C-alpha cells in the first residue's frame, strides 16, 4: 500500500500490536506528522491491520506484516522480509501484548507463559532483530510499551504485572548498553486506556484514557531533540487506579 507522499529517505517506523487500541492510534498519529514517515504495521490479524493501514493515508508508505512477535522464527522472517521490502527500521515501537486476569493459585502454567511471551519475550525478540542495523547506522529509537502494572502489583493480574516489570527492567539495561550510541530507549507506562478489550468490563469509556492521547505522547517523545532521552513516562487517568 503506497501513500500519496514521496517515500524518498523517509524514516521507517515499525509498530507491533498495530491492529487495534493504542498501537492503531500510534499508527494514525505518526501518519499525520510532517515530514511523512513510512510505516510497517505488525500484528497477528491481517484484516485489522488492513483497516488501520487505510487510516494512515498521510504516510509516505504503509505496509502490513502479519506476525506473532513472540515467535522467534516468525520475527526472523519478519526482519528479512521487511529489509527486502522497506529497508532498515529507524523507529521500533514494541507495543504488542496481551492481558490475563486470574489468581496465581488458579492460573495455568500455559497462561502464565503466554502472557510473559506476548508482553516481554516479544520485546527482546524484536530488539534483537532490529537493533543491529541501528547500531551499524549509529542512530535509532526504541519505544517499549510498559504499564503502570510494571510499577505496582495488582491482585489477580500477576502474570501481566510480572511481564511489565520485566519490560521496564529490560529497557533500563538496554538503555545502558546504548548510551553514547545515538540510540534512544524509552519506556511508556500508561494506566487504563480505552481499547476493545474493555468493552465488556463494566467500566465507562469516559473513566479511561483515550488511546489517541497515549499515542500523542509517543509522538512528542520521538519529536524531541536527539540529545533528549525521556527514559520513562507514566500516564494515568484522573481518577487513578481502575480495576474491573
What integer pLDDT is reported at residue 168 of this predicted model?
A: 98
Q: Residue 156 class from Cβ within 10 Å (0-12 exposed, 13-18 middle, 19+ buried)?
A: middle
Q: Confirm whether 160 is a catalytic residue.
A: yes
* CA 127/CA 34 separation, integer angstroms: 26
Beta bridge pairs of residue 14: 40, 92
- CA dihedral for 199, 203, 206, 211, sign (positive or negative): negative
Domain boundaries, the chain: 12-235
Q: pLDDT for 193-216, tens place per residue?
A: 877 666 666 677 677 899 999 999
Three-class SS of residue 8?
coil
Low-confidence ranges of the chain (pLDDT < 50): 2-6, 244
What integer pLDDT is reported at residue 3 of this predicted model?
A: 44
Query: CATH number of the domain at 12-235, out of 3.30.450.20, 3.40.50.720, 3.40.50.1260, 3.60.15.10?
Result: 3.40.50.720
Within the chain, strands assigned E span: 12-16, 38-43, 61-66, 91-94, 140-145, 183-190, 232-235
Query: Does residue 31 have a cis bond before it (omega within 30 degrees)?
Result: no
What integer pLDDT is reported at residue 239 of this predicted model?
A: 73
What integer pLDDT is reported at residue 133 of this predicted model?
A: 98
Name the catalytic one among 65, 154, 160, 222. Answer: 160
Three-class SS of residue 58?
coil
Q: pLDDT for 146-190, tens place per residue?
A: 999 999 999 999 999 999 999 999 999 999 999 999 999 999 999
* CA 115/CA 163 separation, integer angstroms: 7
* Phi, psi values for residue 45, rounded to 5°: -95, 105
What integer pLDDT is reported at residue 240 of this predicted model?
A: 61
CB of 88 closer than 8 Å to CB of 34: no
Amino acid at each position: 500500500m503506497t501513500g500519496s507522499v514521496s517515500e524518498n529517505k523517509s524514516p521507517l517506523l515499525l509498530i507491533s500490536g498495530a491492529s487495534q487500541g493504542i498501537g492503531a492510534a500510534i499508527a494514525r498519529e505518526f501518519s499525520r506528522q510532517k515530514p511523512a514517515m513510512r510505516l510497517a504495521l505488525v500484528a497477528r490479524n491481517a484484516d485489522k491491520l488492513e483497516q488501520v493501514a487505510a487510516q494512515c493515508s498521510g504516510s509516505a508508505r504503509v505496509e502490513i506484516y502479519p506476525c506473532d512477535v513472540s515467535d522467534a522464527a516468525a520475527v526472523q522472517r519478519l526482519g528479512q522480509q521487511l529489509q527486502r521490502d522497506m529497508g532498515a527500521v529507524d523507529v521500533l515501537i514494541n507495543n504488542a501484548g496481551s492481558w490475563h486476569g486470574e489468581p496465581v493459585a488458579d492460573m495455568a502454567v500455559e497462561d502464565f507463559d503466554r502472557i510473559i511471551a506476548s508482553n516481554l519475550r516479544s520485546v527482546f525478540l524484536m530488539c534483537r532483530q532490529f537493533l543491529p542495523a541501528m547500531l551499524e547506522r549509529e542512530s535509532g529509537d526504541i519505544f517499549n510499551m510498559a504499564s503502570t502494572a510494571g510499577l505496582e502489583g495488582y491482585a489477580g493480574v500477576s502474570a501481566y504485572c510480572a511481564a511489565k516489570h520485566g519490560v521496564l527492567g529490560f529497557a533500563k539495561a538496554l538503555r545502558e548498553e546504548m548510551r553514547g550510541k545515538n540510540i534512544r530507549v524509552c519506556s511508556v507506562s500508561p494506566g487504563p486506556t480505552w481499547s476493545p478489550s474493555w468493552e465488556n468490563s463494566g467500566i465507562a469509556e469516559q473513566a479511561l484514557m483515550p488511546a489517541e492521547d497515549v499515542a500523542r505522547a509517543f509522538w512528542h517523545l520521538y519529536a524531541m531533540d536527539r540529545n533528549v532521552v525521556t527514559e520513562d513516562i507514566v500516564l494515568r487517568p484522573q481518577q487513578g487506579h481502575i480495576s474491573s
